[in-house]
Amino acid sequence: MRASLIQIAVDRDESIDSRRQRVAALVREQRGADLVVLPELWPVGAFAYESFEAEAEPLDGPTHDAMAKAASDAGVWLHAGSVVERGHEGRLYNTSLVYSPDGRLVSVYRKIHRFGFDKGEAVMMAAGEDLVTVRLPGTTLGLATCYDLRFPELFRGLVDAGAEVLVVPAGWPERRRAHWTLLARARAVENQAYVLACGTAGTHAGVEQAGHSIVVDPWGEVLVEAGAAEETLTVDLDPAKPSLTREQFPALKDRRLGLDAPRH
Ligand SMILES: NC(=O)CCC(=O)C(=O)O
């Protein structure tokens, strides 16, 4: 299974419309891949909070139109990263979109853990409530977004639901790059799953992005890692490897669920 991660530069000197066209063209270039992955909130920028309200779009908005067509033109499964979705009752969500090779929107995942503590995404957006997996020929994807990477229980829930490839679009800042790499590897090792973590490059809203998109195998080995600039990573995954790793080193079977709370 061939996967391409497109680490997009999100800089303020490019309009959202031009970036949409440019990214659609990059997706089309990936014909021959099975799965293409884009980063979190690449149209607007994950830290461009002041633009969220104005740039919010419905699920059938301009990013959807461009990505549905790009997926079918390229004939690939496309995890199109996320958009600022204007959802129920006008509320905003950080919503990931997944397309089949015929350009159908087959899954949406609304980010569960919102970043920003008392500002930005955490106060402007509503939280998703649902774990999402996507069945592809030969494997199952588990979806998470950026800050979710810090919450291992979410990933364990995805694994319990059958996920073998954990896909994490992100807009991760350079100043916490060490956490990004460490957490991507940790989620792969503890879940004996592939991790495909696709970040952004460039600088927007004054926040330098880390880049360094990374693919980790179920044994925790880094298969490919990007640099800081815009770049496309291509990697071949073995769909049998998660289950083989789980058979050969069956740590997931040794979980002790339902232990009593500590006594004081
Ligand atoms: N967009 C995000 O979720 C940023 C997460 C982040 O910066 C961090 O977890 O650190």
Quick: pLDDT tens for 67-118: 999 999 999 999 999 999 999 889 999 999 999 999 999 999 999 999 999 9
Query: Across residues 38-43, what is the average pLDDT?
Result: 98
For residue 111, give Cα distances in angstroms to 73, 184, 243: 28, 17, 27
DSSP string of 2-16? EEEEEE-B--TTS-H
Report the DSSP beta bridge partners of residue 125: 92
Compute the radius of gyration of the chain from its Cα atoms: 18
> pTM value?
0.98
CATH number of 2-250: 3.60.110.10
Query: Across residues 134-146, what is the average pLDDT?
Result: 98
Q: Which ligand 1 atom sits closest to the C-alpha of 176?
A: 10
pLDDT at 260: 93
Task: Output the average pLDDT for the chain.
Answer: 98
Q: Using alpha carbons, select from 70, 75, 74, 79 the residue that is nearest to residue 99.
A: 79
Q: Binning pLDDT at 50, 70 and 90, where does residue 264 land? A: confident
Provide the CA 79 distance to its chain's centre, in angstroms: 7
Question: Rounded distance, CA 132 to CA 154, Å?
Answer: 10
Query: Across residues 199-209, what is the average pLDDT?
Result: 97
pLDDT at 12: 81
**Residues framing ligand 1 (Cβ under 6 A):** 40, 46, 115, 146-147, 150, 171-173, 176, 179
Strand-strand pairing, 231-236 and 222-225: unpaired
For ligand 1, atom 5: residue with the closest CA = 147
Residue 127 per-residue DSSP state: P
Check if 111 is active-site. yes
Question: Rounded distance, CA 247 to CA 244, Å?
Answer: 5
Residue count of the chain, please give it.
264
Question: Rounded distance, CA 101 to CA 75, Å?
Answer: 4
Q: Binning pLDDT at 50, 70 and 90, where does residue 62 land? A: very high
